[in-house]
Amino acid sequence: MNEELLKILENLKEYEEAAVGKNKIRRLLIKFVNSEIVEVQRLINESIGIVVRKGNKYLATEASGNVNVERVKKLFNIVAESSIVPYLSENDREYKRVVESPLRDIIEKGEIDSILREIYSSEYPASGIINVVEATQSLVTSKGFNGYFLNYYADGYVRAFNGEYSGQWAFYSNDLSPLKEAIKQANILASIDGKVKVDDGKYDVVLSPLVVGNLMSDFAYFASAFNVFTASSFLYNVKPGDKIASEKLTISDVPKKLRTRDFDDEATFTYDKNIIENGVFKTLLYNNELAKMMNARTTGNAGIIYPVSFGIEVKPGEVSFDSLLSGNVIFVNNNWYTRYQNYLEGAFSTVCRDAVIVYKDGKPIGNAGRIRISDYLPRLLKNIEELSKESYAVRWWDAPLPTIAPYMLIKGVNITRA
């Protein structure tokens, strides 16, 4: 198993530690515009990464195609010593898992009839992209680890258009069953018409799972121990046990539940863990080197040097989505252009898009159009009033981290005109 990588590793014995990894993605991409298929592509992306360390010097490099080991050695000779260096896990196991999936036939044979039927069923013209993916992760290390993980997943987004009004939904799944629901949700949101003006001020806001997914991708960044270590995170002075959010909120890193990774880049096996539990901070995301420097233990989230999340879940609540809309609220279907003015404070703004519906006494009175949320992420986490019992796994280009998220009611969100 992984003979190609083992052959490369054999030529790196002069280093204290060495790892060779390979990531391969086979993708069937389906693009549709106005409910018509405009493009079907078969794409293959493959890269090999090498990490070598000797003392306080290390080199991490990645290449597509053939690997030139001599070039790696020459590059290592010119790098300077570093205050942070990677450490591989003491894991000498051989590990292999291949997940069987009906998605394989779609990739292999291009069998997309079921996808076409769903797209053609949209009430309103719909545009979007669907990806069906085979993802392979391989890793060998000088500690003796030899790992191979092959998995399938599908993701995509659907945007439905009703004249000047639109609605969008996205999905992430180990099969294509959520596509039907994505099209349904996009159509429902696009059907809400009429206009209403929203002035600058503070409002109670209900965020859709798409918006929650966008903000959770950012939260995962802040939860990386590297960003805390470099004072680039609002979690920089937070300790385990500190209450930092609403007691309604539990945020977890869930690579096993989402089936995204079985082992990280340092050969640590992944596991699901809470980052925030009932509003209380539990842990940052660590790799070996940051854990060593910050008196903690790795959480199986390496990233060489930089720990990362492999997928987030926000624990659902106990009330219905409809109940969140029962008062005077603004429902935000989607967002983009999320920008942070201050990472240390979590100050950000994001533009709301697609269906931005104003509810009065539980009834929709119109679409507010483009408004902007201008606030602080730590404040929003504290002001979560309620979470829906319905939740959805979503992923798309503005929410790149697979996230399982409910609808989220937040009190007193600062809104300005975009």
CATH number 3.30.2290.10 is the correct assignment for the domain at 3-186 = yes
Report the alpha-carbon distance of residue 278 to residue 131 in Å, rounded: 34
How high is the pLDDT of residue 37?
96
Token pair for 401: 């981290």
Beta bridge partners of residue 409, listed in sequence order: 206, 386
Annotate 313-347 with DSSP letters as a single string.
Answer: EEPP-SB-HHHHTSSSEEEEEEEEEEEEEETTTTE
Cα–Cα nearest to 65, from 44, 80, 79:
44
Burial (CB count within 10 angstroms: exposed 0-12, middle 13-18, buried 19+), residue 109? exposed
Q: How many CB atoms lie within 10 A of CB 136?
A: 15
How high is the pLDDT of residue 214?
98
- Locate the DSSP E strands across 174-215: 201-207
Are 10 and 28 contacting, i.e. CB atoms less than 8 angstroms apart?
Answer: no
Residue 304, H or E segment = none
pLDDT tens digit string along 256-308?
999 999 999 999 999 999 999 999 999 999 999 999 999 999 999 999 999 99
Are 32 and 16 contacting, i.e. CB atoms less than 8 angstroms apart?
Answer: no
- Which position has the token pair 């051989």? 94
Token pair for 256: 């096993």
Residue 397, H or E segment = none
Q: 3-state class of 401 per DSSP?
A: strand
Q: 3-state class of 143 per DSSP?
A: coil
3-state helix, strand, coil in the chain (%, to 5): 20, 45, 35
Token pair for 221: 């960044």
How high is the pLDDT of residue 65?
84
Number of helices (H), then strands (E), belonging to the chain: the values are: 11, 18
371-376 vs 399-417, strand pairing mode: antiparallel
Side-chain-side CA neighbours of residue 108 (13 Å): 6
Dmax (CA) of the chain? 71
Distance of CA 154 to CAs 70, 81, 115, 177, 304, Å?
39, 42, 12, 10, 27
Residue 183, H or E segment = helix 178-190
Report the alpha-carbon distance of residue 210 to residue 208 in Å, rounded: 5
Are 306 and 222 contacting, i.e. CB atoms less than 8 angstroms apart?
Answer: no
Q: Which residues of the chain have pLDDT under 70?
A: none
**What are the structural domain ranges in the chain?**
3-186, 194-283+309-418
